[in-house]
Amino acid sequence: MRLTLAALNVGLGLVYVLLGVIFLIDLKRGWRTMGYSHLGVAMVAMAFTCGPHHLEHGLHLALAGRPAGPMEVLALVVGLPPAAFWAALRLEALAGGRGDRFVGGTPRWLAALPQVFASYALVVGATLLLLLGDGSTFDRRLVPNVVLIGMYGTIASYLLRTQRANRASLGGWSVSGLSLTGLFSTCAVMHATWLAYAVAGTYDIDGHGVIVSWLSVPAALYFLWVVRALWLGTVTDWNHTATGLVHEGLAEETDPLVAA
């Protein structure tokens, strides 16, 4: 199980780094004509912090003999499909393909997904709580993990919101958008499981992991800021076109921070 988890982590880490390279190439290509892209840079930052994060986990599992908790394996297995879908679509787009699929309407399996995910998160949460016994201690080096759980969850909720707005106007769902939403949700759960094992004392906290986690915090914050600012229209990016086409979305009325 430990080696399987290590292999999955290394694979995932390499895919993220590859995606980072793809976005970096695209960023360089479009820079001259469209200027700086916040989303592009944020994606690159995410890919180059998430990728090393998983690589670091994988290498510690494989080489340093770190144990693999079953809940972490479960979290990774659940997180793999959206990550794989999204990465495959990005690779398809890189090869000149469509890079997305459209799901018309809201089929039953899709309508059931939120409930399924909520149940999964509840079960994982409850199981993790059972892990925490008397010997559990919260080390201050785990702070970035807590922050990342909150950020990934917030990013996922923003993405879900934009997906819902997209569905309202297009009458269906973008598989790529949905898988990215799922990716962030499952990442939050993965971090939560790792955190629980670390608090329970099952996992040791290693210095490399702490550094990569701290580096992930500004990257995730930047990504969250970009997604939100793009949605609100407070930042100029490559979505600014000369066509004058303006998509009316949820925008200000539904943003709690704006309302505040």
Partner 1 sequence: MATFTAPTRPVRGGTIRRVPAAGPMTAGPARPRKAEPDLLAVRAAALARVALAIGTGMLGSALGGLAPRTEAFYLLVGLVWLPWACVMLLANDGRGQLAVQGGPMSDCLMVFAAQCLLPTAGAVTLLAQVLVVCFAASVWPARPAWLLAVVSTSLTLFAQTVVPEADRLEIPLLVLFGVVLGAVVVLINRIVSRQGLAAQSSSRMRAKADTILARVAEGLIVTDSVGTILQCNPAGERLVGPGLRNPVGASCRDALGLHEGERLLDCSRGCPLLSLGGEGRTDDGREVWRLREDGRRQPLLASAAAVVAEDGRVAEVVHSIRDITRLKEADEAKTLFLATASHELKTPLTIIGGFAEAMLTFPDMSREQRDEAMRAVHRRTLELRAIVERLLLSSKIESGTVDLSLRLLDVRPLLDERVAALVGATGRQVDLALAGDELVAVADQAALSTVVDHLLDNAAKYSGRGPLALGAERDGNGVRIWVRDEGIGMDPEQAAHCFDKFWQGESSDERRFGGAGIGLYIVQSLVHAMGGAIEVDSVVGRGTTFTVVLTLQLPTPPAAADPPGIAEASAIKELMRQIGVPSRSAV
Residues 36-95 that bind partner 1 (CB under 8 A): 37, 39-40, 43, 90, 93-94
Long-range pairs for 20-23 at CB < 8 Å and ≥24 separation?
Answer: 20/44, 20/46, 20/47, 20/48, 20/51, 22/90, 22/91, 22/94, 23/47
Q: Within positions 121 to 160, which residues make up the interface with partner 1, using CB under 8 A? A: 138, 140-141, 143-144, 146-147, 150-151, 159
C-alpha 181: how far from its chain's center? 7
Q: Are 19 and 90 in contact (CB under 8 A)?
A: yes
Place of tokens 């990257």: 219
Q: Within positions 10 to 39, which residues make up the interface with partner 1, using CB under 8 A? A: 22-23, 26-27, 29-30, 34, 37, 39
Q: Which stretch binds partner 1 (CB under 8 A): 72-80, 117-125, 128-136, 216-224?
A: 216-224
Q: Are 53 and 212 in contact (CB under 8 A)?
A: yes
Question: Please, which residue, 68 or 155, has the CB nearer to partner 1?
Answer: 155
Question: Please, which residue, 7 or 98, has the CB nearer to partner 1?
Answer: 98
Tell me the C-alpha distance between 147 and 93, whole Å: 32
Q: Are 53 and 213 in contact (CB under 8 A)?
A: yes
* Binding residues with partner 1: total (CB under 8 A): 76
Residue 115 as a binder of partner 1 (CB under 8 A): the answer is no
Question: Please, which residue, 68 or 159, has the CB nearer to partner 1?
Answer: 159
Q: Within positions 221 to 240, which residues make up the interface with partner 1, using CB under 8 A? A: 221, 224-225, 227-235, 237-240
Binding mask 155-194 for partner 1 (x = CB under 8 A): ----x--xx-xx---x-x-x-xx--x--------------
Question: Please, which residue, 125 or 233, has the CB nearer to partner 1?
Answer: 233
Among 115, 135, 243, 253, indicate the residue that binds partner 1 (CB under 8 A): 243
Identify the bridge partners of residue 103 per DSSP, sorted by sequence position.
Answer: 173
Tell me the C-alpha distance between 252 and 158, whole Å: 13
Nearest CA to 198 among 250, 157, 145?
A: 145
Residue 259 as a binder of partner 1 (CB under 8 A): the answer is yes
